[in-house]
Amino acid sequence: MATPRTIAVAGKGGVGKTTTCGMIIDYLCRQKKGPILVVDADANSNLNEVLGVEADVTLGQIREEMAHAEQTGSIPAGMTKADYAEMQFNNALIEEDDFDMLVMGRTQGKGCYCYVNGVLKTQVDKYAKNYAYVVMDNEAGLEHVARGTLPKVDVMLLVSDCSRRGIQAVARIAEMIEEMNLNPGQMGLIVNRAPGGVLEPGVQEEIDRHGLKLFGVLPQDDGVYRCDCNGEPSAKLPDDSPMKAAVGRLMQNLGL
């Protein structure tokens, strides 16, 4: 299979980044663009909830289980630590009809996420070649992209709410991407939760001031709000819901 097209989604917390990512994945599935590997690389993982998928096992949980097994000497007899790790991490791939998913999750112990980051990169490297698309939901710091978890980013989508402060935060992420020489094939801004899908002049002025490329504007959607309140998967909203329809048009315009 050819090298997959990779889409990375980033933005600060609370702007609807994960909901947007979920609707992008749903669009690719409905358009039969798969197979798709979904990577939830945010330590505060909830992309599975947006997609309506149970995430019983995360890489962070497996890391904790492995540490416990090593401490207690409960690694199965005749199995090396490496073999045990491989067996455990193979169980982390969540397989759905239209996509498969890896969830990073968080570790319970103190310290950094370096080990889990390394595992995530290894798992993505192992699986990615089997997919047409890899879609990664990142935390705002873009640590996983910077560490090369994705070998190359074809499309970088920076999500903001429709405030000047939100645009400023995305501009800082864009600067970081440039400083790290990540060189995505395409990079642009998606403004979310705009009333009526229309930007205020002051917001457009802020976008222009930072030289950001505007890929699209997503409207405030009461259906998404109700899903969030009721714990329902917003990616499963009807295709004519305002935000979902706008995501579809955005993806078409990007040739995805």
Domain of 153: which CATH number?
3.40.50.300
pLDDT number for residue 151: 64
- pLDDT tens track for 7-42: 999 888 888 899 999 999 999 999 999 899 999 887
CA dist 92 → 6, 18, 201 (Å): 20, 20, 46
> Per the structure block, which two tokens stand in for 103?
């969830």
Q: Which domain holds residue 142?
A: 5-253
Q: pLDDT by residue for the chain (256 residues), tens digit each?
A: 568 899 999 888 888 899 999 999 999 999 999 899 999 887 666 899 999 988 777 777 777 777 777 778 778 877 877 777 778 777 888 889 899 998 887 655 554 556 666 777 788 888 889 999 999 998 766 665 666 566 688 999 999 999 999 999 999 989 888 888 888 999 999 999 999 999 999 999 999 999 999 999 999 999 999 998 998 999 899 989 999 999 999 999 999 8
pLDDT given at position 28: 96
**What pLDDT score was predicted for residue 116?**
64
Angle between the N-to-C axes of helices 81-90 and 59-72, in degrees from 0 to 180, rounded to the nearest 10: 150
- Cα distances (angstroms) measured from residue 184 to each of 3, 124, 187: 15, 18, 6
Q: CA-to-CA distance for 55 and 27, rounded, in angstroms? A: 21
- How many helices (H) and strands (E) would you count in the chain? 10, 8
**According to the model, what pLDDT value does residue 103 have?**
86
Candidates 164, 163, 120; CA nearest to 139 is 120
Instruction: Please state, in angstroms and rounded to a whole number, the distance separating the CA atoms of residues 125 and 228.
Output: 33
The per-residue pLDDT for 76 is 81
Tell me which amino acid residue 189 is.
L
- Domain tally, the chain: 1
pLDDT for residue 72: 82
Q: Which is nearest to 166 in space by CA: 136, 194, 196, 137?
A: 194
CA 26 to CA 236: how far, in whole Å? Answer: 8
